[in-house]
Amino acid sequence: MLLDEVVADPESIRAMARANGPYFMPARYLVDGRAAEEAGDGGRREHVDVPRHLIGPTWRGDWAVGGRALVDGAAALLGHTGFADAASAMFGGAVVVPEQVFVNLTTPSSGQGFSHTDIPEFVGVNRSNAPGWLLQAMGVSRLFEDVRVPIVTAVSWFYRGERGYFRYWPEGRDTVSVRHEDVWNFGVVGDNDFMHHQVERTGPAGSLPPPGLTIDSSLDHDGSRWIVSDGDYVLAAFDEGEVRLSLSWKAKVYRDEAERMEVEAGIGGIDLDEVLDRFAALPDLEVPDGVEAAMGDDGFRVALAERWNGYRTG
């Protein structure tokens, strides 16, 4: 579903972005052993195996998590009636519970060389108690559909620079894609846990990411320009109009209030032990013994990512 106008004052979204850095690499969700809610808190982790295509130049900022606003102005976005009405219409009048608001900021680049699906959640296993890489593998594997919680995502844009188009595959990754070229105060509401989507080239032809980017590189506004840095090293600086900003809103959806109450109480759900048991039941996957060992095992993380990940190149 499409929204022709997202907010009355779109410049206010960019002002919020300038005020609430620094922003981190979204890839941190896919390499950190902590719960997904905690993965972007700035903690550094050395010697992590991160695919090069996941290293920038896009940065993430969480403005609301678990239905709780984290920055000034986020509460109004969390309660956005246009997003909620579209989500309800998509699911036939379902109960809509807003959960997340986050922004992605992209500096000039040749575009993502991949499409992806978002990180899902399940009854009993979610962003508060499981790392992003585990949740993603659970979703792509389709081994946990009996406890999946449907999530609606509204993506909107606040960018007037060159290109920065949004492409998505509403009927599946092997079918025809749709490109949206209106990336100023425009929104698309869909099921991004299943629907592949990607960002096309941002900025002029030939744009490249800043050299030297790592999983720890960050983006922040210094009052005049956007600064890309890694530790004490400044890697690049960009004017306001060069940085593409997208705003995402996510809500869980339920058939009725009774289902909502059951899910929020964890009735019929699973725990991390059950997750590992289901993976261990597969004949060709080695699963570490115990939750703590599994969550800290990079080999297990990489094995899951190689077999089930939400990214597709080409």
What are 241-299's pLDDT values in tens digits? 999 999 999 999 999 999 999 999 999 999 999 999 999 999 999 999 999 999 999 99
10 Å CB burial of residue 21 (0-12, 13-18, 19+) is middle
What are 42-93's pLDDT values in tens digits? 555 555 667 777 787 999 999 999 999 999 999 999 999 999 999 999 888 7
What are 170-202's pLDDT values in tens digits? 999 999 999 999 999 999 999 999 999 999 999
Domain hosting 263: range is 2-313
Structural domain total, the chain: 1
Cα–Cα distance between 198 and 313 in angstroms, integer? 10
> Which CATH number is 295's domain given?
2.60.120
Q: At what angle do helices 272-280 and 132-141 cross, to 10 degrees?
A: 50
10 Å CB burial of residue 314 (0-12, 13-18, 19+) is exposed
Backbone phi and psi for residue 261, each to the nearest 5 degrees, phi listed first:
-65, -40
Mention every residue, 6+ apart, whose C-beta is less than 8 A from residue 157: 164, 166, 182, 183, 184, 185, 186, 187, 244, 245, 246, 247
Using CA atoms, how far residue 162 sits from 50, 73, 107, 194, in Å, is 29, 28, 11, 28
Cα–Cα distance between 161 and 152 in angstroms, integer? 28
> Region 151-166: what's the mean pLDDT?
96
Cα–Cα distance between 239 and 224 in angstroms, integer? 8
Give the pLDDT band (50/70/90) at residue 152. very high
Cα–Cα distance between 92 and 68 in angstroms, integer? 26
Q: What pLDDT does 75 receive?
A: 98
The answer to whether 109 touches 162, Cβ cutoff 8 Å, is: no
The answer to whether 152 touches 91, Cβ cutoff 8 Å, is: yes
> Region 153-162: what's the mean pLDDT?
97
